[in-house]
Structure 1
Amino acid sequence: MRRFTSLEARIDAAAHMVLDRLPAHGLYGAAVEFVVFGLKQGWACLFGGAMLALIIGTRLLWPDGSIVSRYDFLFLAALGIQLAMLGLKLETLSEARVILIFHVVGTAMEIFKTGAGSWVYPEESFFRIAGVPLFSGFMYAAVGSYLARVSRIFDMRYTHYPPFWTTVALAVAIYINFFAHHFVVDFRIVLFAATAVLFLRTTVHYRVFRFRHRMPLLVGFLLVSLFIWFAENIGTWSRAWLYPGQEDGWTPVSIHKLGAWYLLMIISFVLVTLVHRPRSLGDEKDEIAMDREPVAETPSKADAMGLSSRET
């Protein structure tokens, strides 16, 4: 997996020309790591940030009686952003595949959940399936885009990562429970426990600028889920979608939804690992060792015959 696209590589080289002159340790070194961390996180959120900006902008500025509905504009704009990111080398083809997978998986869940009355889309649109506007799938895709990009940009490695098949089985169980709990017992508590058992010892190691840092993976899941919850509050405030009780006036999304987003984060993370397989910290050490090994030159035909180029 390449760490940067061609454009990102040029940006990285330009950043090194400036930041390499700064102290590597002490307060200045910590400040550089902090600033670069924030910039990289913003870069990883490029697709999701653009979608949130469009949702807010259309909430404030969309004209009444427009020929194109707000939801259709959001769908077409999301497609345009996707194509632009690919064309401008802001995104890799593998990340585009992740977005497509998330759009399909998310739209399927949206169709079921809106049918069950979990939330509604109050506005009309042309591009929709079973009452679900197609832009909604891009909101799930934004999560997948972030996870794929952040894994690549921060060159994430893992220690004590659980067997891959167990994470896939957990993700499938969580996805099924999102549907099944409407008909049978909600196994959410069991799934939380299974998540803790699988990932309790797992640590993610990520490179910011000069140094690698580490964090328990479960803490990373929680932090990302929290920011998704903030984004969902922005989405419901803008009336892009509404939960029961928000039709007559906006109220913050219940903090209890954080648990649902936490479980969705597990699904999202595992789907990304289908494209970008988790790499161990030991792999990096092997790669560094290989880079430092001298490369033996392949002898030419003349050398093999015991003749130098001068002799021939």
Structure 2
Amino acid sequence: MRSLKQLVYFGWEQALSCLFPVVIFASLAITKIIPLPFLPRYDWLLLICLLMQWWMVRSGLETRDELKVITLFHLIGLGLELFKTHMGSWSYPEEGYFKILGVPLYSGFMYASVASFLCQAWRRLKVELIKWPSFWLVVPLATAIYLNFFTHHYWIDIRWWLSALVLIVFWQSWVTYEVNGTRYRMPIALSFVLIGFFIWIAENIATFFGAWEYPNQAEAWSLVHLGKVSSWLLLVIVSFLIVATLKLVKRKRDR
């Protein structure tokens, strides 16, 4: 019974950490079912995301430092979206006033919501890192993973080599977290896989409600290919490495 209680408590903390993604999914569903007046759907989504971000900082659910991290992810995600839509990987077929080269500005918030989840969960579960690799290993690895999302269109795709390198670099690394006063630990690599898998599930929900569209979903919605888990896994690794590095830098600065 205690294990079940701990699992429920852990799930509740995770659910609270997912507040921003939940608002995005709810907005996608509502605007898909009930068309809103005056503005195109994509612009309403942008307005909702901006109001949600403002409220989270105003209410204290997010700190100003976390807002800086989330803004960084918004820019990183928007850059990736601009390139991927240009290459035809996916598209945003609906109209919108606030679009850049066919990419609605709300799309950056979908990446920012991942950063929001990581920051929230980090604080709520009192996350600590054990045997974290050197800064000089982590930063080049995160950079190489992000750049591969671009370069594989012109060169070979080295995602599996990068995945193997992640396992080697983080083989001895663990993450510890607190649930209702009890500390637990998990291999870093396993946490990457779990987060990536659940984001893939979220991606299926998002495409179902028309957040974006893959070429094979142009005629009718279909399940996102399971191979996309590897892409999300690598993106989660980049996200986690950036958040972890910034957290460690801030801790050293505060000390």
TM bucket normalised to smaller: over 0.9
Matched position secondary structure for 1:166? helix
Mapping of 1:1-312 within 5 angstroms? 27=1, 29-63=2-36, 66-277=37-248
Gaps of 5+ in 2: none
Q: Contact 1:33–1:210 at 8 Å: present in 2 too?
A: no
Cα shift readout 1:99-138 (whole Å, capped 9, x = no counterpart): 1001100000100000000000010111111110000000
Q: Contact 2:135–2:245 at 8 Å: present in 1 too?
A: no
In 2, the alpha carbon distance for the partners of 1:55 and 1:274 equals 32
| Residue in 2 that maps onto 1:24 | none
Matched position secondary structure for 2:65? helix
- Cα deviation, residue 251, structure 1: 0.3
Structure with the bigger percentage of helix: 2
- TM-score, normalised to structure 1, is 0.78
| Moved beyond 6 Å, runs of 4+ | none
- Cα deviation, residue 279, structure 1: 10
In 2, the alpha carbon distance for the partners of 1:234 and 1:134 equals 20
Matched position secondary structure for 1:206? strand
- Cα deviation, residue 278, structure 1: 8.1
- For 1:138, the aligned partner's letter is F
- TM-score, normalised to structure 2, is 0.95
| Counterparts in 2 of 1:70 and 1:61: CA distance versus 1, 3 Å | same
Matched position secondary structure for 1:245? helix
In 1, the alpha carbon distance for the partners of 2:135 and 2:176 equals 18
- For 1:33, the aligned partner's letter is Q
In 2, the alpha carbon distance for the partners of 1:159 and 1:90 equals 27
- Matched pairs, number: 252
RMSD over aligned CA atoms reads 1.7
Give the stretch that moved more between structures: 111-120 or 200-209: 200-209
Matched position secondary structure for 2:176? strand
- Cα deviation, residue 263, structure 1: 0.4
Matched position secondary structure for 1:58? helix
Gaps of 5+ in 1: 1-26, 281-312
- Cα deviation, residue 273, structure 1: 2.1
Q: Contact 1:114–1:120 at 8 Å: present in 2 too?
A: yes
- For 2:138, the aligned partner's letter is T
In 2, the alpha carbon distance for the partners of 1:77 and 1:115 equals 26
Aligned identity (percent) is 41
Task: Determine which structure has more spread, i.e. the larger CA radius of gyration.
Answer: 1
- For 2:116, the aligned partner's letter is S
Q: Contact 1:95–1:145 at 8 Å: present in 2 too?
A: yes
In 1, the alpha carbon distance for the partners of 2:224 and 2:189 equals 23
In 2, the alpha carbon distance for the partners of 1:150 and 1:72 equals 29
- Cα deviation, residue 253, structure 1: 0.2
